[in-house]
Amino acid sequence: MARKKGQKRSPPQRPPIDYEWRLDDYYRATVKGLQESFRLGGIKVRRNATKAELLHEARRLALGRLNYKACTTKELTQFIKERGIQGPEGARKKKELVAVLEAADEEATFDRYLDLPTELREHVASYYMAELVSPVYGSDLNGTGVCMPNADEFELKEKRLSTPTQPPLTRTCRLLRKETLPLFYQTGTFDLGFNYSYRHPLLGPGGSAKLCDVFGAWLTAVGAEDVKSLRSLRVWISSYQPSHNFEYLLRTGEGVESCLEQWTQWDSSVDDHLVKELNQVLTGIKSREGARKFRIEDVDTIRKGIEAAFPLQDDKKRRAF
């Protein structure tokens, strides 16, 4: 359908799955929002900088690159000398030195990663995975998606992983996949969603809990072996008649506690039974030997535990009918 004259183009739709490892595309970014984000991050930019210039700087910072514009001419000259960069003849102005260094950053490569000792590669991979699933600033950041390291005014929120794709580092070769994929599943907190459906009061007690299709497909894709590496699951349950939500953080690692995170007001007996059932599942998982405790069969155990928690609420619905 053709756009009418003067009608704004709709922003592209984000994919329905998590691309937690992708750099932000800044498709909602505005000049004003970018400038404000830089200000909150303590990063100086020209007041008359164009949107293209602001986006360029935002992407560089997202890659962890140095903000050369904040350096002195003497420092920039020293960087070029120490890195052995061949710059243009007679480059003396700060703008020219910045351009030389940024161009060198774009061309930089490191093709000896596999030559590093295994222990060092594991350290690198641990930092890489932790960065992918680390908390993010919960504010909309003026619609820019720019997260500055010094933006203390924003609330820090845990990043939720719902059917996430595997990071690129896990798909480079068999050796790195073997080393890094378990780290990904061990580090993040992954969503596991269920829908609970009540039976009609005339049909007797009980209802049914079903793992949402998207999570079932995700677990199947992950596979039984990699599921064993999961350490932290956020189990959430939705019921539409009446409308209720329940969330429980289930951690299978040693020395960490699980907890009821949030819920809307269900009958307290239902909440208590849900916590009891999920705690029993957690106790069974933690009693197993070895570090890789979670099993694909535990999903069905959780489902049955959810169904066992609801008959009290169903009884009330029948009596009220």
How is the chain split into domains, by residue range?
A: 24-104+143-156, 158-320
Mean pLDDT of 93-99: 88
Q: What is the reported pLDDT for 135? A: 55
Please give the mean pLDDT across all residues of the chain: 76
Q: What is the reported pLDDT for 153? A: 42
The pair of three-digit structure tokens given for residue 316, joined into one six-digit string:
């009330």
Q: Would the pLDDT of 110 be above 60?
A: yes
List all residues 6 or more positions away from 22 whose beta carbon is below 8 Å from its beta carbon: none
Query: From the CA atom positions of the chain, what is the Rg in Å?
Result: 26
Is residue 225 exposed (0-12), middle (13-18) or buried (19+ Cβ within 10 Å)? exposed
Of 45 and 310, which is predicted with more confidence? 45
Give dist(CA 29, CA 14) in Å, integer. Answer: 14
Q: What is the reported pLDDT for 294? A: 87
Give dist(CA 126, CA 128) in Å, integer. Answer: 5
Q: What is the reported pLDDT for 86? A: 80
Is residue 178 exposed (0-12), middle (13-18) or buried (19+ Cβ within 10 Å)? exposed
- 90-127 burial, b if ≥16 CB within 10 A, otherwise e? eeeeeeebbebbbebeeeeeeeeeeeeeeeebeeebee
Mean pLDDT of 109-128: 92
The pair of three-digit structure tokens given for residue 14, joined into one six-digit string:
């984000």
Q: How confident is the model at residue 293 (pLDDT cuts 50, 70, 90)?
A: confident
- Largest Cα separation within the chain, whole Å, is 89
Of 260 and 111, which is predicted with more confidence? 111
Mean pLDDT of 9-25: 60
Mean pLDDT of 203-218: 77
Considering only CA atoms, which of 36, 35, 56, 60 is closest in space to residue 46?
35
Q: Would the pLDDT of 63 be above 60?
A: yes
Confidence (pTM)? 0.72
Q: What is the reported pLDDT for 155? A: 46
Give dist(CA 320, CA 316) in Å, integer. Answer: 6
List all residues 6 or more positions away from 52 whose beta carbon is below 8 Å from its beta carbon: none
151 backbone dihedrals φ, ψ, rounded to 5°:
-80, 70
Range of 75-84, 197-206, 235-244, 255-264 with top mean pLDDT:
75-84
In single-letter form, the type of residue at position 249 comes to L
Residue owning tokens 């490569």: 109
CA dihedral in degrees (116, 118, 124, 128; nearest 10)?
A: 130
Percent of the chain with pLDDT over 90: 14
DSSP string, 146-164: ---TT-TTSPEEPPPBSSP
In single-letter form, the type of residue at position 68 comes to Y
